[in-house]
Amino acid sequence: MIETKRLRIYPANREQMETLKDSATDTDLQSAYGEMLEYALQNPKQWEWYAAWLIELKDGTHIGDLCFKGLKDDGTAEIGYGIMEEYQGQGYATEAVEAALDWAFQNPLATAIEAETEPDNLASQRVLAKCGFATTGTRGEEGPRFRLLKQSYTPANTRL
């Protein structure tokens, strides 16, 4: 479990992931949760790199989730995240992504974290910029791609 000033972030267990999948109203999100669960079950020793991570306020209120899409052989992983609409605009996404990056880069095999976002999702692009990501100049399935190298990463608690 990762704890920040306002949040608790932890990988969901199988039951929690099944609940996320079954309760998702968006078919794309339901499919994504299903894929995460499938990959996590196929890679139990790397569960954290495939599972959905639940984002909660310190009082236990679920406000969103994030995930890594596996740790590739070259040390890269892709991160995805979402905060429920009523909690957006309060810095929770930035706080959660920073904490997840701190966790990921503690792994000696992790060399870079990547992300992509819808072209019109400026809030998500701001989160990535605040966390040190730079655009790669390429597009993925969802839109522009971003990358953060471990060697250029400054942990959140040491930034001025």
- Where residue 150 falls among pLDDT bands split at 50, 70, 90? very high
Which CATH number fits the domain that encloses residue 102?
3.40.630.30
Q: What is the pLDDT of residue 158?
A: 55
Domain count, the chain: 1
Least confident window among 9-13, 22-26, 51-55: 22-26
- pTM value is 0.92
Three-class SS of residue 94? helix
- Structural domain containing residue 117: 2-158
134's CB contacts (< 8 A; 6+ apart) are 146, 147, 148
- Provide the 8-state DSSP code for 40: H
Q: What is the pLDDT of residue 154?
A: 83
Average pLDDT on 30-39 reads: 93
